[in-house]
Chains A and B, each alone.
Chain A
Amino acid sequence: MTVVVLLLAVAVGVLALLVFGLLRTHAEILRALDRAGISLDGGQTVSPAPQAGQDRSVNGVASDPAAARDLVGTVPAGGPTKIAVSGVERFTLLAFLSPGCRTCKRFWEAFAEPDLELPGGNTRLVIVGQDPAHDSESAMAELVPPGVKAVLSSAAWEDYDVPGSPYFVLVHGPDGRVVGAGSALRWEQLRDLLQQALNDAGLADRSEGSPSTMHVDHSGRSPSVMQADQSGQSPSPTAAGSSGRSRELRADQALRSAGVRPGHPSLYRRWPDSNGGNGADPAGTGADQ
């Protein structure tokens, strides 16, 4: 009898060890999945960040620096819209979010903060959902914070090769290139990654955290890949500023399109300075002073 009891006790002990081992393995698997950005809650997933150094063309997005595309779709609970992201003077942060994605909830909340500061200075946030056939339009319309631009465009998801939500793409408007793309689990993490991508591209603000002059690098480098588990600081920006240059190019383009070319007589015409100002208003209305 004693022997049987002892055998049973040993068996129970061995089984307990087996169960403990299985639970530990299970926990390790869950932690690994969480690190990879995959949540098992409700079957919703977060796209894993691409690996550092991976060529974006491998993922279907060309490594061409001019890969950024304007967005065409519909406003949630609204009509058709086109949003320009390339050929504009600012950065655009495209946030590819879904109403049903649990991790996205943190970003919906973060983007509703009125004092949210986006890296890059004069950066515009655009939330991009999928077409109403994929995502609930009314749910999107409810989630979009007031004052934040949003568009439903599955075409944009394809253009930017979005593997899942949440996913983020930072576009440098003046030369229409993607500076960085990837995923993150929290806004703070994303903000750091964006800043790092800007640093890597030589596009960071000289004075971080304030909407200041943008320093543009025309090196044409491929976009950085933002990696959620990456850490460490990048070198400080070294590129020369050129926001004035892009404005000058835009003015030149507008003048050329109006038929005003170098040497055009209108450039040398003197207008009477009726208001003691700079004489820029030929009608003398002073409206522009």
Chain B
Amino acid sequence: MSRLAAHGVSIDVPAGWEAELSTQPDPAVLDSGLESSGASLVVVHAANFSLPAERGDYGSGAVEVMDRNGIFVTLVEFDPASATSRLFSHQGLPSRLAPGDFAPDQLHLSLPGQAGVQVFFHVGSRAFCLYAVIGSYSMRSVLVPELNRMLSGFSVH
């Protein structure tokens, strides 16, 4: 078990899993019309397969190479101003997902056989989206418990 931690987020990464914790570029750098948030918005990727070097925030680049046994999870932080909005009203990081939460039509990138789930929540004044993809919808009762074990190692301060 290895622990990664930065910007108030930590993850215990079990054997066989990979993870990377990074920060999103400041929107003001990408678009001069936007105001700088001043906060380091976090993106966490974790997977039980080899994460490619180049990936989108929601796993594009990774989910395409995932096999039926694959699990990919991302934690994407939103602007703190969103934390009080209704979308992020759920309190606390979900540590347990149910196989029934997953559906093929919840994928950002629709790929045959895969299923996903998206949960919006806030921790204190921070707003997050947890997005998870499993490689096989029909194996969700096997894969989701494995994902939950990984999620139990996530913490946000």
Q: Chain B residues with Cβ under 8 A from A260's Cβ?
A: 142
Asked whether, in the complex, the Cβ of A258 is within 8 Å of the Cβ of B15, the reply is: no
- Name which residue of chain A comes closest to B115, CB basis: A287
A258 to B141, CA, bound (A): 8
B18 adjacent to A82 (CB under 8 Å): yes
The answer to the question of B23 belonging to the interface, with a C-beta cut-off of 8 Å to chain A, is: yes
**Complex contact B6–A258 (CB within 8 A):** no
Alpha-carbon gap, A83 to B16, bound state (A): 9
A124, B141: Cβ atoms under 8 Å?
A: no
Which stretch of B48-56, B77-85, B124-132 is in the interface? B48-56
In the complex, are the beta carbons of A146 and B54 less than 8 A apart? Answer: yes
Query: Which residues of B lie under 8 Å from residue A280 when comparing CB positions?
Result: 138
How many Å lie between the Cα of A60 and that of B96 in the bound state? 43
Query: Is A13 an interface residue when CB atoms closer than 8 A count as contact?
Result: no
B137 touches A288 (CB 8 A): yes
Contact with B along A54-90 (1 / 0, CB 8 A): 0000000000000000101001001111111011101
Tell me the minimal C-beta distance from A155 to chain B in angstroms: 10
Chain A residues, Cβ within 8 Å of B4: 72, 79-82
Give the shortest distance, in Å, between B142 (CB) and chain A (any CB). Answer: 5
**A149 at interface (Cβ–Cβ under 8 A)?**
yes
Contact residue among B16, B23, B136 (Cβ-Cβ distance under 8 Å from A288): B136
* Across-interface contacts of A147 in B (CB, < 8 A): 52-54
> Are the CB atoms of A84 and B18 closer together than 8 Å?
yes
Decide yes or no whether B32 CB sits under 8 A from chain A.
Answer: no
Query: For the complex, would chain A's binding face be called helix, strand, loop or mixed by DSSP majority?
Result: loop
A259 to B47 CA separation, bound complex (whole angstroms): 22
A150 and B54 CA atoms in complex are apart in Å by: 11
Alpha-carbon separation in the docked complex, A190 to B139 (Å): 41
Contact check: which of B5, B53, B104 meets A149 at CB < 8 Å?
B53
Interface of B is mostly: mixed
Indicate if B95 sits at the interface (CB-CB under 8 A): no
Q: Using an 8 Å CB-CB cutoff, how does the interface string of B131-152 with A read, 1 for contact, 0 for none?
A: 0000011110111011001000
Assuming the A-B contacts A87-B15, A124-B50, are A287 and B20 also in contact, with contact meaning beta carbons closer than 8 angstroms in the complex?
no
**Any chain B CB within 8 A of the CB of A254?**
yes
Interface size class of chain A, counting residues whose CB lies under 8 Å from the partner chain = 35 or more
Contact status A80-B112, CB under 8 Å:
no
Across the interface, do B22 and A78 meet the contact criterion of CB distance under 8 Å? yes
Expressed in whole angstroms, the Cα–Cα distance for A79 and B141 within the complex equals 32
Whether, in the assembled complex, B113 has its beta carbon less than 8 Å from a beta carbon of chain A, the answer is: yes
Interface residue? B91 (CB, 8 A): no
Contact at B69–A250, with CB atoms within 8 Å? Answer: yes
Interface-centre pick from A70, A81, A280 (highest chain B CB count, 10 A)? A81
Nearest CB of B to A266, in Å? 8
Contact between chains at B50 and A254 (CB < 8 Å): no
Q: Which residues of the other chain, A, contact B7 by a CB distance below 8 angstroms?
A: 79
Q: Name the B residues within 8 Å of A283 (CB-CB).
A: 137-138
Q: How far is the CB of A86 from chain B (nearest CB, A)?
A: 8
Across the interface, do B15 and A80 meet the contact criterion of CB distance under 8 Å? no
Q: A192 an interface residue at 8 Å Cβ cutoff?
A: no
Judge whether B16 and A87 touch: CB under 8 Å: yes
Q: Are B17 and A82 in contact (CB-based, < 8 A)?
A: yes
Q: What are 16 residue pairs bridging A and B, where the CB atoms are less than 8 Å apart in the complex?
A: A79-B22, A80-B4, A81-B19, A83-B51, A84-B50, A88-B50, A149-B51, A258-B141, A258-B145, A283-B138, A285-B137, A287-B104, A287-B114, A287-B137, A288-B138, A288-B139
Extra contacts, 11 of them, besides A75-B20, A84-B17 (Cβ < 8 A), are A79-B20, A80-B6, A80-B21, A81-B20, A84-B50, A146-B53, A260-B142, A281-B137, A285-B137, A287-B112, A288-B112
* B residues in contact (CB < 8 Å) with A: 2, 4-7, 13, 15-23, 49-54, 68-69, 104, 112-115, 136-139, 141-143, 145-146, 149
- Would you list the 3 A-B pairs with minimal beta carbon distance, nearest first? A288-B113, A287-B104, A81-B20
